[in-house]
Structure 1
Amino acid sequence: MEKIIDENIQGQALSLDKKEGNTRKLFIESYGCQMNFSDSEIVASILAKEGFNTTQNLEDADLVLVNTCSIREKAELTVRKRLEKYNAVKRINPKMKVGVLGCMAERLKSKFLEEEKIVDLVVGPDAYKDLPNLIEEVDAGRNAVNVILSKEETYGDISPVRLQSNGVSAFVSITRGCDNMCTFCVVPFTRGRERSRDPQSIMEEIDDLASKSFKEITLLGQNVDSYLWYGGGLKKDFEKASEFQKATAVNFAKLLDMVAEKYPKIRLRFTTSNPQDMTLDVIEVMAKHKNICKYIHLPIQSGSDRILKEMNRLHTREEYFELIDNIKKLIPDCAISQDIITGFPTETEEDHQDTLSLMEYVKYEYGFMFAYSERPGTLAARKLEDDVPEATKKRRLNEIITAQRNHSTYRHEAFIGKTVEILIEKESKKSDAHWSGRNTQNIVAVFPKGDYKIGDFVMVRIDECTSATLLGEAIGYSDNN
Structure 2
Amino acid sequence: MERKNVLIPQADLDRQREFEEKIRAMFASREAHPVACVDTFGCQQNVADGQKLMGMLADCGFTFTQDPKEADLVILNTCAIREHAEDRVFGNLGALTHTKKENPEQVIALCGCMAQEPRVSERIRKSYPHVDLVFGPQALWKFPELLWQVYETHKRVFSVQDEHGTIAEGIPVVREKGVKAWVSIMYGCNNFCSYCIVPYVRGRERSRDPQCVLEEVRQLVEAGYKDITLLGQNVNSYGNDLDLDYHFPDLLADIDKIPGEYLIRFMSSHPKDATKRLFDVMAASPHVAKQLHLPFQSGNDRVLKEMNRRYTRQQYLDLVNYAKSVMPGLVLTSDVIIGFPGETEAEAMDTVSLVEEVGFDALFTFIYSPRPGTKAAEMPDPATRAEKQTWFDKLLEVQNHMSAKLHAAYVGKTVRVLVDGESDDPEFPLTSRTEGNRLVRLKGDKALIGQFIDVTVTGSNTWALYGEAV
TM-score, normalising length: structure 2: 0.90
Would the aligned equivalents of 1:124 and 1:149 in 2 still touch at CA under 8 Å? no
**C-alpha distance in 2, partners of 1:407/1:159?**
43
Task: Choose which of 191, 194, 197 in structure 1 pairs with 2:205.
Answer: 194
Task: Please say if 1:434 is aligned against 2:429.
Answer: yes
1:339 alignment partner in structure 2: 335
Would the aligned equivalents of 1:157 and 1:201 in 2 still touch at CA under 8 Å? no
Would the aligned equivalents of 1:302 and 1:308 in 2 still touch at CA under 8 Å? yes
Greater Cα shift, 308-317 or 147-156: 147-156
1:201 to partner: Cα distance: 1.4
**C-alpha distance in 2, partners of 1:434/1:96?**
39
**C-alpha distance in 2, partners of 1:205/1:93?**
39
1:183 alignment partner in structure 2: 194
1:206 to partner: Cα distance: 1.5
Instruction: Give the alignment's Cα RMSD to 1 decimal.
Output: 1.8
Q: Which runs of 5+ in 1 are unaligned?
A: 1-18, 229-234, 239-244, 476-481
Per-residue CA distance 1:421-460 (angstroms, 9 max, x = gap): 0100011232265321110111111121058510111101
Q: How does 1:303-382 map to 2 (within 5 A)?
A: 303-382=299-378
**C-alpha distance in 1, partners of 2:340/2:380?**
9
1:161 to partner: Cα distance: 1.0
**C-alpha distance in 1, partners of 2:70/2:461?**
43
1:479 alignment partner in structure 2: none
**C-alpha distance in 2, partners of 1:96/1:291?**
45
1:86/1:144 CA distance change after superposition, 3 Å: same
1:60 alignment partner in structure 2: 70
1:153 to partner: Cα distance: 2.1
1:145 alignment partner in structure 2: 158
1:470 alignment partner in structure 2: 465
**C-alpha distance in 2, partners of 1:422/1:405?**
23
Would the aligned equivalents of 2:422 and 2:446 in 1 still touch at CA under 8 Å? no
**C-alpha distance in 2, partners of 1:166/1:92?**
32
Would the aligned equivalents of 2:427 and 2:443 in 1 still touch at CA under 8 Å? no
**C-alpha distance in 2, partners of 1:115/1:81?**
13
Output the amino acid matched with 1:392: E
Task: Choose which of 79, 83, 99 in structure 2 pairs with 1:73.
Answer: 83
1:377 to partner: Cα distance: 1.5
1:387/1:68 CA distance change after superposition, 3 Å: same
Secondary structure in 1 aligned to 2:225? coil
Secondary structure in 2 aligned to 1:301? coil
**C-alpha distance in 2, partners of 1:184/1:360?**
25
1:418 alignment partner in structure 2: 413
Q: How does 1:151-300 map to 2 (within 5 A)?
A: 151=164, 153-162=166-175, 165-228=176-239, 235=240, 238=241, 246=243, 248-300=244-296
Q: How does 1:452-463 map to 2 (within 5 A)?
A: 452-463=447-458
Secondary structure in 2 aligned to 1:127? helix
Give the share of equivalent positions with the same residue, in percent: 37
1:221 to partner: Cα distance: 1.1
Secondary structure in 2 aligned to 1:262? coil
**C-alpha distance in 2, partners of 1:178/1:160?**
23
Q: How does 1:93-112 map to 2 (within 5 A)?
A: 93-107=103-117, 108-112=120-124
Would the aligned equivalents of 2:428 and 2:441 in 1 still touch at CA under 8 Å? no
Task: Choose which of 54, 66, 75 in structure 2 pairs with 1:44.
Answer: 54
**C-alpha distance in 2, partners of 1:136/1:473?**
52
1:285/1:264 CA distance change after superposition, 3 Å: farther
Which of the two has greater helix per residue? 2
Output the amino acid matched with 1:398: D
Per-residue CA distance 1:295-329 (angstroms, 9 max, x = gap): 11111111000000111111000100100111011
Would the aligned equivalents of 1:374 and 1:386 in 2 still touch at CA under 8 Å? no
Per-residue CA distance 1:310-361 (angstroms, 9 max, x = gap): 1111100010010011101111111111111101111112101211110111
Would the aligned equivalents of 1:151 and 1:195 in 2 still touch at CA under 8 Å? no
Greater Cα shift, 63-72 or 410-419: 410-419
Would the aligned equivalents of 2:349 and 2:391 in 1 still touch at CA under 8 Å? no
Size of the aligned set, in residue pairs, is 439
TM-score, normalising length: structure 1: 0.88
Secondary structure in 2 aligned to 1:23? coil
Secondary structure in 2 aligned to 1:222? coil
1:207 to partner: Cα distance: 2.2
Secondary structure in 2 aligned to 1:336? strand
1:241 alignment partner in structure 2: none
1:65/1:452 CA distance change after superposition, 3 Å: closer
1:385 to partner: Cα distance: 2.2
Per-residue CA distance 1:276-306 (angstroms, 9 max, x = gap): 1111111011100122111111111110000
Q: Which runs of 5+ in 2 are unaligned?
A: 1-23
Per-residue CA distance 1:234-284 (angstroms, 9 max, x = gap): x4xx4xxxxxx74x4321000001001113521111111111111111101
Output the amino acid matched with 1:147: V
Greater Cα shift, 32-41 or 135-144: 135-144
Secondary structure in 1 aligned to 2:308? coil
**C-alpha distance in 2, partners of 1:375/1:191?**
15
**C-alpha distance in 2, partners of 1:144/1:420?**
53
Output the amino acid matched with 1:125: P
Would the aligned equivalents of 2:229 and 2:264 in 1 still touch at CA under 8 Å? yes
Task: Choose which of 28, 31, 40 in structure 1 pairs with 2:38.
Answer: 28
**C-alpha distance in 1, partners of 2:34/2:128?**
27
Greater Cα shift, 116-125 or 317-326: 116-125
